[in-house]
Amino acid sequence: MKILFIYRNPQMGFSIGKVFKPIEIEMSKCCEVDSIELPCSNYAIKSLITNIKYVKKQVKRTHYDIIHITGTEHYLLPFLQKKKTVMTVHDLGFYTNNKKGIRSWFKYLLWIKTLPLAGHITFISNKSKAEAEIFVRFKKDNVSVIYDPISNEYTYHPKIINTKYPTILHLGTNPHKNLIRTIEALKEFPCKLCIVGKLHEDQMHMLQKHKIDYENVYNLTEQEVLEKYINCDIVSFVSLHEGFGMPIIEGQSIGRPILTSNITPMKEIASNGGAILVNPWDVKSIRNGYQEALTHSDDLIKKGLENVKRFRLDIITSQYYNVYKQLMKA
């Protein structure tokens, strides 16, 4: 079996590559694999045409049994053979959060209506699948939920949790990452807040206003991010919406108590008892959650380590391999 993995231009973000590059490497143990990155990093008409031509040229030059679009570039689907193509959908928030105007219609046409043109669609959570089913009817046999895998680099690092002055790791500074409420929840809470991601002006103002002891870092390497997980006492991931929730399983793999939102897909990914679930719109709920995470840290760590077993790279890769085999038989 020969497989082509198609990645968006890395200037649009590294998250998808972070998920699928390990799968690609693992898949190469049993299949012949190629991969390409698209040349253009925006969705202007000219850029879309350039990307489409680039992919068509690659596919014409080499025979592939399976073509896997690893995320976001749904508009490529009309130009690929349906029976060969797998499309992974991570999140439809870019459309569902803004459904007004001509741009919205354009997104709907190229990113939503094109989905049934894939031979098989995989969703990274039941939440992202449910979002898509609002707009598109799928044949049951043509869709599946396959979670993102945890990298083999994320292994258990035991640590005595500092319950008196914990380091709380918060990843991301975009509005949906809910940093403002996190800061408000930590007012007069004895801790150090480590924020990964470039701060916005309003966030800096809130940190100063509430006299939060904080560290701000960004543009980190994967190894540097890993070290932040290892050195923290709590992983805080109280987002308002997500397609998956990678920090949950990354933190659980390292062996840290997790605080996350009591909404899908976070509670789906965290599993029963594997994290403290809070109302992300309620500052008091978030604050109480931190104290609860410290109080029950041993139990949370134990249940978290058990939960992440289902996200092992070899298990997730095997699930994709079965999708490929099913598509080739169709």
pLDDT at residue 97 in the model: 58
pLDDT at residue 94 in the model: 65
Give yes or no: residues 21 and 100 share one domain. Answer: yes
- Domain assignment present for residue 162? The answer is no
Give yes or no: residues 212 and 305 share one domain. Answer: yes
- Domain assignment present for residue 45? The answer is yes
Buried b (16+ CB within 10 A) or exposed e, 175-205: eebbbbbbbbbbeebebbbbbbbebeeebee
The region, left, alpha or beta by phi > 0 then psi within -120 to 50, assigned to residue 273 is left
pLDDT at residue 193 in the model: 98
Q: How far apart are CA 120 and CA 48, in angstroms?
A: 22
Domain count, the chain: 2
* CATH code for the domain of 324: 3.40.50.2000
Give yes or no: residues 76 and 93 share one domain. Answer: yes
Give yes or no: residues 231 and 143 share one domain. Answer: no
Domain that holds residue 123: 2-149+312-329
Give yes or no: residues 19 and 124 share one domain. Answer: yes
Q: How far apart are CA 116 and CA 87, in angstroms?
A: 10
On whether the CB atoms of residues 120 and 321 are closer than 8 A, the answer is no
Other Cβ atoms within 10 Å of 43 Cβ, number: 18
- Domain assignment present for residue 254? The answer is yes
- Domain assignment present for residue 157? The answer is no
Give yes or no: residues 233 and 283 share one domain. Answer: yes
Q: How far apart are CA 266 and CA 269, in angstroms?
A: 5
Residue whose structure tokens are 């997980």: 229
Give yes or no: residues 45 and 112 share one domain. Answer: yes
- Cα distances (Å, whole numbers) of residue 54 to 21, 24, 155: 20, 21, 38
pLDDT at residue 37 in the model: 97
- Domain assignment present for residue 91? The answer is yes
Give yes or no: residues 62 and 108 share one domain. Answer: yes
pLDDT at residue 140 in the model: 86
Q: How far apart are CA 190 and CA 114, in angstroms?
A: 50
DSSP 275: S
Does the reported pTM lie above 0.85? Answer: yes
Give yes or no: residues 142 and 82 share one domain. Answer: yes
Give yes or no: residues 296 and 324 share one domain. Answer: no
User: Per-residue confidence of the chain (330 residues) as pLDDT tens digits?
Assistant: 999 999 999 988 778 988 999 999 999 999 999 999 999 999 899 999 999 999 999 999 999 999 999 999 999 999 999 889 999 999 876 666 555 667 778 888 888 899 999 999 999 999 999 989 988 888 888 999 999 999 999 999 999 999 999 999 999 999 999 999 999 999 999 999 999 999 999 999 999 999 999 999 999 999 999 999 999 999 999 999 998 999 999 999 999 999 999 999 999 999 878 899 999 999 999 999 999 999 999 999 999 999 999 999 999 999 999 999 999 987
Tokens of 215: 């560290």
- Cα distances (Å, whole numbers) of residue 15 to 7, 20, 78, 126, 196: 11, 9, 25, 19, 14
